[in-house]
């Protein structure tokens, strides 16, 4: 029926929690399938993939021939312009020592921090925000605490089975 998303990916069943989200990100050109019939929702995302999707969401016209401050972000790669844009706008800082961590898996707390910085914390206050309902709240890194609180407070992230799993790998269905 018109307006109803088409299930073209055999690994994204109609009843999956992420079905609508996958349909949206593919229709909007933010993500591609990993083939014509697979999306691989459980595949982990690396840091280059994450900022590339964010750049697409923002509609950034990237120049992959840009030189960046990061020694592991080579000129001419598919992610170079997105990383340069994110760094220039204070969305990412890298991993230290001039390294971005291109192929490093983006963790839940890293992804939420990147989203928080991208948003500038504009969609809500942290007043009264708490992670006390999550049994692993103390495992959230101090640098990510505000971002994780923001994400929980604004319904962006709900955790899984009462846990935040902040250092777990972020998946394509995150």
In this structure, the dihedral spanned by the alpha carbons of residues 30, 24, 159 and 59, taken in order and rounded to 10 degrees, is 30
pTM for the complete prediction? 0.85
Report the Cα 140 to chain-centroid distance in Å.
17
Angle at 117 between CA 34 and CA 167, to 5 degrees: 60
The Cα 110–Cα 165 span in angstroms is 11
**What span, in angstroms and rounded, lies between the C-alpha atoms of 128 and 160?**
22
More confident residue, 83 or 128: 83
* pLDDT at residue 119 greater than cutoff 70: yes
Cβ contact 156:112 at 8 Å: yes
**Mean pLDDT, the chain, as a whole number?**
90
Q: Output the pLDDT for position 1.
A: 41
pLDDT, tens only, 33-91? 889 899 999 999 999 999 999 999 999 999 999 999 999 999 999 999 999 999 999 99
104-131 average pLDDT score: 85
Is the pLDDT at 123 greater than 70? The verdict is no
CA atoms of 12 and 136, how far apart (whole Å): 29
């Amino acid at each position: 029926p018109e307006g109803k998303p088409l299930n073209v990916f055999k690994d994204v069943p109609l009843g999956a929690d992420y079905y609508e989200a996958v349909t949206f990100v593919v229709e909007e050109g933010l993500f591609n399938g990993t083939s014509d019939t697979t999306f691989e929702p459980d595949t982990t995302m690396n840091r280059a993939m994450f900022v590339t999707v964010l750049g697409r969401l923002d509609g950034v016209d990237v120049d992959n021939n840009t030189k960046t401050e990061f020694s592991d972000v080579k000129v001419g790669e598919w992610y170079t312009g997105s990383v340069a844009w994110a760094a220039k706008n204070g969305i990412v800082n890298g991993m230290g020592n001039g390294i971005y961590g291109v192929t490093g898996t983006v963790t839940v707390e890293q992804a939420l921090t990147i989203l928080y910085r991208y948003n500038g914390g504009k969609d809500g206050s942290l007043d009264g925000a708490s992670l006390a309902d999550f049994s692993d709240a103390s495992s959230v890194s101090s640098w990510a605490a505000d971002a994780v609180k923001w994400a929980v407070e604004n319904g962006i992230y709900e955790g899984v089975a009462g846990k935040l799993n902040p250092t777990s790998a972020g998946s394509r269905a995150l």
